[in-house]
Copies of this chain bind each other. A is one copy, B any other.
């Protein structure tokens, strides 16, 4: 390899910079940056991500690596005035992963590396603290055994063998806490740990520090490909090809007694976004103790009492970091004999609420531009603002009824109610059954990620605000209450005890992630503040904390974006809600949804069961006034905005009963012989309804249906015009594959529409366009555009046909494909850009070849998915259309699409 493999940092100079995250990983780049801006960072070096990629491909290191590491170690030795493996003043190091994107807890870390039966003597001599030295040593052996040599519990039920050994010693000594163990106890543990390793691993614990170092580096690189890391990457769309860097850094010690300690803090509150010092620490502990959630740490404010000068310095560091990085930082520190050392900083994970608040407030503080603020929020995070909250009255009532079980840390805001489950797998299974569950764990670990994702809320007994549970929940946007010490959880009994109360798996529980309250039973929820303010008008926006922030961000997004955002809606109240969320028109009004009401379905069935065109017309005549009323209601709400109405799409058999009992009932209702209905149902049965007699194929064979719908639309529009409403109806013909199909339907529509308009004598423009939802339509879009005044991509059907995958039938293989890396993304969630996307690009470009002014949009469900929105922007669509609740998401994604181009 020709590139530089190792980047050194230390003293007040570093070879790397914050911008070099791709090469050095986030941790390495930021350690370099902190060194450069004068913060106290223990010296060290970073092995680049390119070495990781090389290692994954070739299963060996570049030949120069050994020499580079040696030289960098020598520089650390110089600064630390210590020597690796030295009996008198041994240098100890940590070895940590650090990828381009933060993956907390996913990969492995080794601390206190360099200790052995010789160097331990030097450490004791230098610190004059043999208890500390042996504590470090036993921690190192334990970690090395676990991470490098793979000594782990063999099942969920087995206790960690190292922890078991500790418990045994504590029991022998009659003590309860780790800190009560003596140096001799710890020395005994070191020996016991080495025995455990010798028994359970093919390799003994290595005494040679260099062998230790290379073992640790290899383990960290390998941890990039462990199951947890792979699952995490999948969930977070992180490419495998990024690789991780490895950071080797001189050890500093938070476990050197009561003037030492370690902690994790944020420059702002990661749950709410408030600009306040937020963090926690443990006295006389190493960093792992904080993150692992085994001991519940103290809030950072207590440090102001315990070590006032250190607190003051730390608060200063916090403000420096926040300003320097212009983003909320999540940083780790260690205090060694009252001296502060910075071990890491990175952009902090935050809830959706916090993300938005921090982004907006940093603009107000002049730290970032609105454009940057827009890129700081993941569009999906807006969902969290729209999530229900508990109805305060109901909650108060529950509390009065003594339903409040306990209170924990408010680690993930929001309200969640569900059945209790005690393990991740149960949560996944429940999700598949469509049940809401709260995952309750003593503490969570990376193995629980899928289950956490499946649960509506997470509740833990141990761990603080920066514990695994809290971190992951915030990132996933899950409701979470952490560190409820009062919970006694018994996995074997599948039950938990709070005081005298026992709750079992399956019982209802409610958790409030905003307050930390845990309540028995299900509690009623209310819409979010945004919805109360915007739509229900039950909350004065000025009284809302959240609404003004949301409104500011949305205004910035609207100023940037070029794509219009419409909504898919077919009821006036849905339209009203969508407009409140910023919809600029209706992109898809499905007329078939209107066909299911009581009286209507009977008329629809009469139409289907008609034996003659006359009978059919009679049934259609009954439907006409109902459809007209539907459209009129929508036009009134959408005053001034375009409304795209699609003619009947589903196959007729969808409107008929299928079971013998239902057939008999319908026949009876309609006064027809059961056999007649049964015969019709059988005649309409299709082997592949998705590819059957539906869409425009219905309207072509039964033009009277299209004519009725066109009449209803245009008569409603005429009425609306008379009421002073500005109406822009766009009539959309579905499932067109051939130009002549559209021509035939357009002729039917125009004949009716022009006659109605002429008779009414009003001025009314309408346009006729088509869905592009078949591969053929995309391929011959130049021909279709001769007839179409607009295109709207139906990416659900286009995906089904282009990929030959029935969405309903894909459960047997699509999840398997994703799990086994056959495909990266679920194609019904985000547009398959290489395949479906290519067809869309051709469709747009061929269509505009024929008709340069062609308006093109998308109305498939992808229209509200951020990556798909960005793609739609890139290929030049005019608008996306999505469900009302996704309109804000699409607005933000559309703005981000513009910013990505820059």
Residue positions of A touching B, CB distance < 8 A = 686-693, 697, 700-701, 735, 737-738, 740-741, 744, 773-776, 779-780, 783, 797, 800-806, 808-810, 812-813, 816-817, 820-823, 832, 834-836, 838-839
Asked if A774 and B800 sit within 8 Å, CB to CB, the answer is no
Which chain B residue has the least Cβ–Cβ distance from A684?
Answer: B812
Given contacts A700-B822, A738-B822, A740-B821, contact A689 B779 (CB under 8 A): no
Which residues on the B side are within 8 Å of A686 (C-beta)? 806, 808-809
Q: In the complex, A690→B804 CA distance in Å? A: 8
Which residues on the B side are within 8 Å of A832 (C-beta)? 776
Which residues on the B side are within 8 Å of A835 (C-beta)? 737, 775-776, 779-780
Q: In the complex, A740→B823 CA distance in Å? A: 7
Asked if A804 and B804 sit within 8 Å, CB to CB, the answer is no
A207, chain B: closest CB distance, angstroms: 43
A499, chain B: closest CB distance, angstroms: 45
Which residues on the B side are within 8 Å of A740 (C-beta)? 821-823
Which chain B residue has the least Cβ–Cβ distance from A776?
Answer: B835
Q: In the complex, A806→B692 CA distance in Å? A: 6
A475, chain B: closest CB distance, angstroms: 28
Which chain B residue has the least Cβ–Cβ distance from A686?
Answer: B809
Which residues on the B side are within 8 Å of A800 (C-beta)? 691
Which residues on the B side are within 8 Å of A838 (C-beta)? 779-780
Q: In the complex, A741→B820 CA distance in Å? A: 10
Which residues on the B side are within 8 Å of A809 (C-beta)? 686-689, 691-693
Which chain B residue has the least Cβ–Cβ distance from A797?
Answer: B804
Given contacts A686-B806, A691-B809, A808-B688, contact A700 B821 (CB under 8 A): no
Given contacts A776-B803, A802-B776, contact A813 B691 (CB under 8 A): no
Which residues on the B side are within 8 Å of A687 (C-beta)? 689-690, 806, 808-809
A-B contact pairs, 30 of them (CB 8 A): A686-B808, A686-B809, A687-B689, A687-B690, A687-B808, A688-B691, A688-B806, A688-B808, A688-B809, A691-B801, A692-B810, A700-B817, A700-B820, A701-B812, A737-B803, A737-B804, A740-B821, A740-B822, A740-B823, A774-B804, A775-B803, A775-B804, A776-B832, A776-B836, A779-B802, A779-B834, A779-B838, A783-B834, A801-B801, A801-B802
Which residues on the B side are within 8 Å of A816 (C-beta)? 700-701
Which residues on the B side are within 8 Å of A688 (C-beta)? 688-691, 806, 808-809
Which residues on the B side are within 8 Å of A738 (C-beta)? 817, 822-823
Q: A774-B803, A774-B804 are in contact. List 11 more A-B contacts (CB 8 A).
A: A688-B808, A690-B804, A691-B800, A691-B804, A700-B813, A701-B812, A737-B803, A738-B817, A738-B823, A775-B775, A779-B802
Given contacts A701-B812, A838-B780, contact A820 B737 (CB under 8 A): no
Given contacts A688-B690, A809-B688, contact A802 B774 (CB under 8 A): yes
Which residues on the B side are within 8 Å of A801 (C-beta)? 691, 775, 801-802, 804
The 9 lowest CB-CB distance pairs between A and B, nearest first, are A691-B806, A688-B806, A775-B775, A776-B835, A692-B809, A693-B812, A774-B804, A687-B808, A686-B809
Q: In the complex, A732→B839 CA distance in Å? A: 26
Which chain B residue has the least Cβ–Cβ distance from A738?
Answer: B823
- Report copies per complex: 2
Q: In the complex, A877→B554 CA distance in Å? A: 54
Which residues on the B side are within 8 Å of A692 (C-beta)? 806, 809-810, 812
Q: Give the one of A690, A779, A802, A804 with max B CB within 10 A.
A: A804
Q: In the complex, A690→B808 CA distance in Å? A: 12
Which residues on the B side are within 8 Å of A810 (C-beta)? 692
Given contacts A779-B839, A816-B700, A832-B776, contact A735 B693 (CB under 8 A): no
Which residues on the B side are within 8 Å of A783 (C-beta)? 834
Which chain B residue has the least Cβ–Cβ distance from A817?
Answer: B700
Q: In the complex, A686→B823 CA distance in Å? A: 22
A691, chain B: closest CB distance, angstroms: 4
A652, chain B: closest CB distance, angstroms: 9
Which chain B residue has the least Cβ–Cβ distance from A832?
Answer: B776
Asked if A813 and B737 sit within 8 Å, CB to CB, the answer is no
Which chain B residue has the least Cβ–Cβ distance from A742?
Answer: B822
Which residues on the B side are within 8 Å of A803 (C-beta)? 737, 774-776
A844, chain B: closest CB distance, angstroms: 15
A677, chain B: closest CB distance, angstroms: 18
Which residues on the B side are within 8 Å of A817 (C-beta)? 700, 738, 741
Q: Give the one of A783, A797, A800, A802 with max B CB within 10 A.
A: A802
Q: In the complex, A741→B741 CA distance in Å? A: 35
Which residues on the B side are within 8 Å of A689 (C-beta)? 687-688, 809
Asked if B744 and A780 sit within 8 Å, CB to CB, the answer is no
Which residues on the B side are within 8 Å of A697 (C-beta)? 812-813
Which residues on the B side are within 8 Å of A821 (C-beta)? 740
Q: In the complex, A816→B686 CA distance in Å? A: 17
Given contacts A820-B744, A822-B740, contact A813 B775 (CB under 8 A): no
Tell which of B693, B775, B822, B839 touches A744, judged by Cβ atoms closer than 8 Å. B822
Q: In the complex, A687→B701 CA distance in Å? A: 24
Q: In the complex, A803→B804 CA distance in Å? A: 11
Which residues on the B side are within 8 Å of A834 (C-beta)? 779-780, 783
Which residues on the B side are within 8 Å of A741 (C-beta)? 817, 822
A808, chain B: closest CB distance, angstroms: 4
Q: In the complex, A629→B379 CA distance in Å? A: 59
Q: In the complex, A813→B737 CA distance in Å? A: 13
Asked if A805 and B744 sit within 8 Å, CB to CB, the answer is no
Q: Give the one of A779, A803, A820 with max B CB within 10 A.
A: A779
Given contacts A783-B834, A812-B701, contact A691 B805 (CB under 8 A): yes
Given contacts A740-B823, A834-B780, A838-B780, contact A690 B693 (CB under 8 A): no
A874, chain B: closest CB distance, angstroms: 17
A537, chain B: closest CB distance, angstroms: 42
A685, chain B: closest CB distance, angstroms: 9
Which residues on the B side are within 8 Å of A776 (C-beta)? 802-804, 832, 835-836
Q: In the complex, A738→B631 CA distance in Å? A: 43
Which chain B residue has the least Cβ–Cβ distance from A683?
Answer: B812
Q: In the complex, A816→B803 CA distance in Å? A: 28
Asked if A813 and B780 sit within 8 Å, CB to CB, the answer is no
Asked if B820 and A802 sit within 8 Å, CB to CB, the answer is no
Asked if A839 and B804 sit within 8 Å, CB to CB, the answer is no
A562, chain B: closest CB distance, angstroms: 27
Q: In the complex, A804→B805 CA distance in Å? A: 11
Q: Give the one of A737, A775, A803 with max B CB within 10 A.
A: A775
Asked if B804 and A735 sit within 8 Å, CB to CB, the answer is yes
Q: In the complex, A813→B801 CA distance in Å? A: 19
Which chain B residue has the least Cβ–Cβ distance from A836?
Answer: B776
Which chain B residue has the least Cβ–Cβ distance from A774?
Answer: B804
Which residues on the B side are within 8 Å of A823 (C-beta)? 738, 740
A497, chain B: closest CB distance, angstroms: 38
Given contacts A735-B804, A804-B801, A823-B740, contact A693 B813 (CB under 8 A): yes
